[in-house]
Amino acid sequence: MGANDGRVLEEGSAEETILRVAGKLRALSNSGLYFADNPYQIETFEQMLALSAELTELVDARPLAEIQRQFFDDTRYVSPYVVVDTAAFDDAGRILLIQRKDNGRWALPGGWCEVNELPADGAVREVWEETACRVALSGFLGIFDNNYHGGGGLHHLYCLLFAARHVEGTPIVTRETLDVGWFTPQNLPWDALHAAHPARIRFAFEWQQEPSRHPFYDLPRGHLHPTWQHNTRQE
């Protein structure tokens, strides 16, 4: 996410709220622009998009003009993006973590899913790229919505979490990482984890004890949309 350049806001809930509101505003503007059928609507949605950029600038170190350029060049951000994380265990039951270069926090290996790649292949690939270890997937643990697990940024992310067994290789520091290693729940750097990762690491250890448990997903908040879409024709 955009670094804070020293303005009033600290890392944490205010910054996350601003990014969440700005992101939603941006997506609504993009949907609106897509379906707009007159110049007035286009103007309205472009103004909303400009407001979203203005809001984003509060917590993003880049100049407003650059944020605006990005937002107006990319008006197809209407859906969350998808990333994959892997909880890889060795035979001793330890979990594989990396220390991220961008912010020094510890995290599960993971990253963007790529176009034309299976989620499962992405999970194996990210472990390979970030640690040089080969793993075999052993299960799908669930979907973690970054909006609710502290991983806020410019885009709303859904994280698909896999479990895996270590197959081969000693973890190696790569150019994306500062450090890498195997951890037990006892010696794991809980206070130095990347914000979104404590929940998924805890779940992974629980799953390891009880592999029959159901996959995790954030329970519905229950805000249904209005009924404007329904006509009166009965089945």
Q: Assign 126 to helix, strand or coil.
A: helix
Cα 14 from Cα 20, distance rounded (Å):
10
Nearer to a second copy, 44 or 174 (CB): 174
Is the distance from CB of 154 to CB of 67 less than 8 angstroms?
Answer: no
Nearer to a second copy, 6 or 231 (CB): 231
Length of the chain: 235
Cα 40 to chain centroid, rounded: 35
Nearer to a second copy, 6 or 209 (CB): 209
Using CB under 8 A, which residues numbered 179 to 218 contact a second copy? 179-181, 212, 214-215, 217-218
Amino acid, res. 204: A
| Separation of first and last alpha carbons in the chain | 47
Binding-site residue total for a second copy (CB under 8 A)? 76
Nearer to a second copy, 2 or 119 (CB): 119
Using CB under 8 A, which residues numbered 125 to 184 contact a second copy? 125, 128-129, 132, 134, 137, 139-140, 142-143, 145, 147-148, 156, 158, 160, 162, 170-176, 179-181
How many CB atoms lie under 10 A from the CB of residue 87?
Answer: 28
Using CB under 8 A, which residues numbered 70 to 129 contact a second copy? 73-83, 112-121, 123-125, 128-129
Q: Which of 27, 53, 55, 188 binds a second copy (CB under 8 A)?
A: 27
Q: Tokens 């008006």, residue?
A: 75
Nearer to a second copy, 6 or 230 (CB): 230
